[in-house]
Amino acid sequence: MFDGFDSRHQSVAGNSIFVRTGGDGPPVLLIHGYPQTHMTWHRVAPVLAQRFTVVAPDLRGYGDSGAPPDDKDHVTYSKRTMADELVGLMDHLGFDRYSVVGHDRGARVAYRMALDHPDAISAICSLDVVPTGEMWSDLDRERAVGAFHWQFLAQPAPLPETMIGQDPAFFLEWLLESWAAPGFQFDNRAMAEYRRCFANSEVIAATCADYRAGATIDAEHDNADKADGRRIACDLLCLWGAARGFGNSAGRSPLEVWRDWVAGNVFGRPIEGGHFLPEEAPDAVLEQLLPFLLDHSE
């Protein structure tokens, strides 16, 4: 599924990050979301690799990357820590400035990278996401039901870990089906990888810790940046699922929400499909993404 790509485990500040790299040209970092792995890019990465150097890692705690134990303040799985780790990964690979494309949790890491490491990030594409603090502040009845996992996974250990661990495959597949557009079928090879990785108890624990961070320290970091007037310096492309996406904010367009956070230009539009745009609608995503990345290549 990643023909021509190399794979390796790279040690970054003591943690092991699994990463695939392929192609040639300006560097682009692809960051996946929950409950998946880098495999979510299997329909996008090969096309991008025709013009770019593509870097597709597993986030810490996900897939085949290391899953260090959480701490009481959830710093270990804060998006700031994840962002620092991926900046370190790109440094190891020889890249000091690059574009970032993030889906779901990966988009949260991407915009934290842009806020904390503005010199490293030339452009961001956010797929089906609005900032974490906005998700919590705009929580209404519809969003609370649709995004129930935000509250569930953030519960203290070991409640969600124990419940998910009774049947990880069922929980994984139920979420994927619920968030995709009706009738969409994931590639069997990708689904097999998602099942394999999500069956690991360390991955279940780490991904719950990711959401505990989202309910605490990540929201605190977002709120502090907003209060201090810190904004993302680079341009941002925002795409969101028209059918079952999480990119909409209560009463406002995602573009309006992101413009509050971005000092550069904000572009974007809805894409026909559900939450998993890189797999459900790769052609539509690439139609918007390729010119954006080419315009921002350095």
Task: Tell me whether residue 104 is one of the annotated catalytic residues.
Answer: yes
Q: Is 270 left (phi over 0), alpha (psi -120 to 50) or beta?
A: beta
The one catalytic residue in 58, 64, 70, 104 is 104
Could you identify the residue written with the tokens 């499909």? 273
| Alpha helices, H only, the chain | 45-48, 79-92, 105-116, 132-137, 141-146, 148-153, 159-165, 168-179, 188-198, 201-215, 217-228, 254-259, 277-280, 282-295
DSSP 195-247: HHHHT-HHHHHHHHHHHHHHHTHHHHHHHHHHHHT--B-SEEEEEEETTT-S-
Task: Tell me whether residue 58 is one of the annotated catalytic residues.
Answer: no
Task: Please report, as a single letter, which amino acid is at residue 62.
Answer: Y
The one catalytic residue in 38, 149, 221, 275 is 275
Residue 160: cis peptide before it, omega within 30 degrees of 0: no
Query: Which positions are annotated as active-site residues?
Result: 104, 275
